[in-house]
């Protein structure tokens, strides 16, 4: 055998390939050890790693019958040593992955290494093609446990890469000890290494999927539990404020501004839109608060005061409605501001919006109270405005002029100045308004002004307040 090369020479010649597989850090050379450079045969294996990684899982062991038979024989020699090999890999993993050194995690890593080492060597010994491979029930369950213990996916995948790297080293040791003493040893080593790397490719993909599924399941459970806690606070007559504060991680005895977000779409993008809107809201207010997902389209939020008082936020860049209640104090304020935000959302939805918008309860409080029963609201507006409910340009101008007239204390010249038109134009438009409603504009002014306000806030489409979007 040629003399071994130094770690620095290996890193200089093969650092890119080793880093590609996550076996070493290309910049720091971490992971290149004396074991890695024991024989020049390993150098030749590394030279072939680039081609090996194209042997994706769906294949039988490469090489002819003689090479495959030798691979199976070498693997057969290793199978009885699986417990020791797994313990060796576990020590390496816990040494290099800090998260794996948590109490109880090392036992899970060891059990996973034992299961994985056994199945890989058993498949190699029996010549089983990798398309037959599925993670064992034990490995899947261990992965779920790691999620529950809070181990990040990056740490799990790094552990798998370190373990696979160690197994390729153990494989080359076994080929040196049990394999042929000629050039065939390189082919045997390549075949086993290719198999292990292909297994790693398959395993990381499937374990990542299992990890994400379990993570999503836990998130749903946490979200549902959190939502139930919030619902009890909103409706419970005998809420223990201190206990609820601890459960929610949000101080209920302080000052609050409630916000409700509703996605305009009802598809798979709704959740992503809500999350994006919440992030934008956080940047705009710079105030961490309480957020709870209610359904696929809806989120409830509370911002603590005084930073949460009267927040002015821009419309989100995503298709989401934002409704904001008035600031209020204590547990009652937590509930009251939330009811106001829900009412503001109801009013904004009645306008049949097609783009993102922000609605403040203080701007629509009258419309919110008057439109609790939308059909009665519609009847009232139609009765008071008559043909002024038409939505053509001329009628809109008449409504706007009449609202400005009332806002100017029924002063013609002040109205004209505010609108930038001649006072005679104001007189003409008011005459047209009286024809439309069938009475003088000074008669039943309160009812007429309220009807104009409702039509302005909620909107009129083809002579009616929008009904299709009423929920």
Q: Before 141, cis peptide (omega within 30)?
A: no
Q: What is the pLDDT of residues 311-321, one digit of tens each?
A: 678 889 999 99
If you average pLDDT over residues 212-241, what whole number do you get? 83
Tell me the C-alpha distance between 38 and 3, whole Å: 9
Tell me the C-alpha distance between 243 and 249, whole Å: 10
State the pLDDT at residue 342. Answer: 95
Nearest to 311 by CA among 296, 328, 324: 324
If you average pLDDT over residues 161-175, what whole number do you get? 93
Task: State the fold for domain 48-214.
Answer: Globin-like (1.10.490)
pTM assigned to the model: 0.56
Find all residues with CB under 8 Å of 278, minimum gap 6, and list them. 261, 291, 299, 301
Whether residue 74 is predicted with pLDDT greater than 70 in this model: the reply is: yes
State the pLDDT at residue 42. Answer: 40
The first and second tokens of residue 196, run together, are 């292990």
| Domain 371-458 in this protein, CATH class | mainly alpha
State the pLDDT at residue 142. Answer: 86
The owner of tokens 């599924």 is: 213
Q: What is the pLDDT of residues 327-358, one digit of tens each?
A: 999 999 999 999 999 999 999 988 878 888 99
Nearest to 87 by CA among 167, 153, 17: 167
Tell me the C-alpha distance between 71 and 65, whole Å: 10
State the pLDDT at residue 281. Answer: 86
Whether residue 54 is predicted with pLDDT greater than 90 in this model: the reply is: no
Whether residue 13 is predicted with pLDDT greater than 50 in this model: the reply is: no
The owner of tokens 């390549």 is: 190
Q: How confident is the model at residue 279 (pLDDT cuts 50, 70, 90)?
A: confident
- When the pLDDT of each residue in the chain is averaged and rounded to a whole number, the result is 81
If you average pLDDT over residues 265-273, what whole number do you get? 80
Tell me the C-alpha distance between 27 and 410, whole Å: 79
Helix H or strand E encompassing 439? none
Q: How many residues does the chain have?
A: 471
Could you tell me which residue, 18 or 243, shows the higher pLDDT?
243
Identify the top-confidence range among 277-291, 371-385, 451-465: 371-385
The answer to whether 404 and 415 have CB atoms below 8 angstroms apart is yes
The answer to whether 114 and 82 have CB atoms below 8 angstroms apart is yes
The answer to whether 439 and 450 have CB atoms below 8 angstroms apart is no
Q: How far is CA 25 from CA 14, 20, 35, 471, in A?
A: 12, 9, 17, 57
The answer to whether 313 and 238 have CB atoms below 8 angstroms apart is no
Tell me the C-alpha distance between 128 and 82, whole Å: 18
If you average pLDDT over residues 276-297, what whole number do you get? 85
Whether residue 32 is predicted with pLDDT greater than 60 in this model: the reply is: no
Whether residue 270 is predicted with pLDDT greater than 60 in this model: the reply is: yes
If you average pLDDT over residues 165-180, what whole number do you get? 90
State the pLDDT at residue 216. Answer: 75
State the pLDDT at residue 464. Answer: 60
The answer to whether 279 and 317 have CB atoms below 8 angstroms apart is no
CA 127, distance to chain mean position in Å, is: 42
- Residue ranges of domains in the chain: 48-214, 242-368, 371-458
State the pLDDT at residue 50. Answer: 37
Identify the top-confidence range among 149-153, 187-191, 336-340: 336-340
Percent of the chain whose predicted confidence (pLDDT) is above 70: 82
Tell me the C-alpha distance between 23 and 7, whole Å: 14
Tell me the C-alpha distance between 369 and 389, whole Å: 21
The answer to whether 448 and 384 have CB atoms below 8 angstroms apart is yes
If you average pLDDT over residues 134-155, what whole number do you get? 86
If you average pLDDT over residues 359-365, what whole number do you get? 93
Strand 255-263 with 320-324, pairing:
antiparallel
State the pLDDT at residue 163. Answer: 93
The answer to whether 348 and 335 have CB atoms below 8 angstroms apart is no
Q: What is the pLDDT of residues 103-144, one digit of tens each?
A: 888 889 999 999 999 999 999 999 888 888 888 888 888 888
State the pLDDT at residue 20. Answer: 34
State the pLDDT at residue 462. Answer: 52
Task: Output the furthest CA–CA distance in the chain (Å, rounded).
Answer: 112
If you average pLDDT over residues 438-456, what whole number do you get? 92
State the pLDDT at residue 90. Answer: 92
Q: How confident is the model at residue 463 (pLDDT cuts 50, 70, 90)?
A: low
| Domain 242-368 in this protein, CATH class | alpha beta
Tell me the C-alpha distance between 203 and 135, whole Å: 7
The owner of tokens 């130094």 is: 6
Q: How confident is the model at residue 44 (pLDDT cuts 50, 70, 90)?
A: very low
């Amino acid at each position: 055998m040629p003399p071994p090369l130094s770690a620095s020479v290996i890193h200089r010649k093969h650092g890119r390939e080793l880093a590609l597989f996550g076996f070493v850090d290309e910049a720091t050379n971490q992971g290149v050890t004396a074991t890695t450079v024991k024989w020049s045969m390993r150098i030749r294996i590394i030279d072939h790693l680039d081609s090996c990684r194209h042997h994706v899982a769906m294949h039988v062991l490469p090489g002819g019958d003689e090479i495959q038979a030798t691979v199976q024989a070498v693997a057969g020699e290793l199978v009885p040593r699986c417990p020791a090999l797994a313990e060796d890999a576990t020590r390496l993993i816990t040494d290099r992955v800090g998260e794996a050194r948590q109490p109880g995690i090392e036992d899970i890593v060891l059990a996973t290494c034992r299961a994985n080492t056994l199945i890989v060597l058993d498949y190699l010994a029996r010549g089983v093609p990798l398309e037959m491979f599925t993670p064992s029930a034990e490995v899947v369950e261990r992965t779920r446990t790691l999620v529950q213990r809070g181990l990040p996916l990056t740490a799990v995948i790094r552990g798998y890469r370190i373990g696979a790297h160690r197994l390729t080293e153990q494989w080359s040791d076994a080929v040196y000890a049990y394999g042929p003493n000629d050039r065939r040893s390189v082919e045997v080593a390549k075949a086993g290494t290719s198999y292990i790397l292909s297994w790693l490719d398959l395993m990381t993909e499937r374990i990542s999927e299992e990890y994400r599924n379990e993570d999503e399941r836990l998130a749903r459970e946490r979200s549902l539990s959190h939502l139930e806690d919030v619902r009890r606070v909103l409706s419970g007559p005998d809420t223990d404020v201190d206990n609820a504060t601890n459960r929610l991680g949000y101080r209920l005895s302080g000052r609050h501004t409630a916000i409700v977000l509703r996605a305009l779409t009802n598809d798979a993008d709704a959740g992503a839109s809500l999350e994006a809107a919440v992030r934008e809201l956080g940047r705009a207010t710079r105030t961490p608060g309480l957020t709870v997902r209610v359904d696929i389209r809806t989120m409830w939020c509370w911002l603590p005061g005084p930073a949460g008082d009267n927040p002015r936020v821009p419309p989100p860049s995503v298709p989401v409605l934002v409704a904001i209640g008035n600031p209020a104090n204590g547990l009652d304020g937590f509930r009251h501001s939330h009811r106001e935000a829900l009412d503001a959302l109801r009013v904004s939805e009645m306008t049949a919006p097609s783009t993102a918008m922000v609605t403040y309860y203080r701007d629509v409080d009258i419309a919110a109270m008057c439109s609790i029963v939308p059909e009665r609201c519609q009847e009232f507006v139609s009765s008071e405005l008559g043909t002024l409910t038409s939505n053509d340009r001329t009628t809109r101008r008449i409504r706007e002029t009449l609202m400005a007239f009332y806002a100017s204390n029924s002063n013609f010249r002040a109205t004209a100045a505010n609108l930038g038109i001649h006072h005679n134009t104001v007189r003409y438009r008011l005459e047209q308004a009286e024809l439309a409603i069938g009475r003088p504009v000074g008669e039943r002014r309160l009812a007429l002004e309220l009807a104009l306000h409702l039509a302005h806030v909620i909107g009129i489409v083809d002579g009616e307040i929008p009904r299709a979007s009423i929920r």
